A and B are shown apart, each in its own frame.
Chain A
Amino acid sequence: AQSVTQLGSHVSVSEGALVLLRCNYSSSVPPYLFWYVQYPNQGLQLLLKYTSAATLVKGINGFEAEFKKSETSFHLTKPSAHMSDAAEYFCAVRTNTGNQFYFGTGTSLTVIP
């Protein structure tokens, strides 16, 4: 079975500071990787996805993530945090042999003014 590890269930950053949310996965085959964000009282919204094209993926709201096969990582970054980035972020993996997504436990991001 696949597993996804998100280090840090809670992350706090100052407004304007770098955001770094970590995601590591276990997969014996090249995976598809996704980052979702959940704002309060809303559903999960796709931020970005890696589908074996460019290893550096740009998403919405200034977020990007880099796929590093050697490190089995797909960390999410944003150069400058905004108050509106406060939300819960989920990393997910899907292999090319199945349909289900495997999620990490989520990281709650707090942005301090």
Chain B
Amino acid sequence: EAGVTQFPSHSVIEKGQTVTLRCDPISGHDNLYWYRRVMGKEIKFLLHFVKESKQDESGMPNNRFLAERTGGTYSTLKVQPAELEDSGVYFCASSPLGGGHNEQFFGPGTRLTVL
């Protein structure tokens, strides 16, 4: 069974440019999460989809970030325009519907560098 995949693995862009990150969850997982880790800090929650609906987007830093999950399958996270402080590793995770004891399955992350 394939795990959570993310594309690209690395992205280097200049301030002001746009970047789109993609996440493919494990097949059948209705929950999809985005997290971000800024260097040296903790991994922080950005938002949570249940199928195609945004369940919780309380962690989104500002309106330069837009997440979508059309059709309830893969998800994209767009940053437009990118700022220096957006640099970090963006993780995607998925899990099946169910109780809080369920682990979240994480992808390898996308390392974003904004110059």
Chain A residues close to B by CB (< 8 Å): 4, 9, 32, 34, 36, 41-46, 49, 51-52, 90, 92, 94-96, 98-106
Contact = CB atoms under 8 A, between A and B. Distances in A.
Contacts, number: 60
Contact of A43 (B31, B48, B101, B107): B107
Nearest to A41: B108
B80 to A, nearest CB: 24
A100 B103 contact: no
Given A42-B108, A99-B31, A99-B56, A4 B42 contact: yes
A49 B101 contact: yes
Interface residues of B, number: 26
A52 B100 CA distance: 11
Interface of B: 3-4, 31, 33, 35, 40-45, 48, 55-56, 59, 91, 93, 100-101, 103-109
Contacts of B33: 99-101
Contacts of B41: 105
Contacts of B42: 4, 102-106
Given A42-B108, A43-B106, A43-B108, A103 B100 contact: no
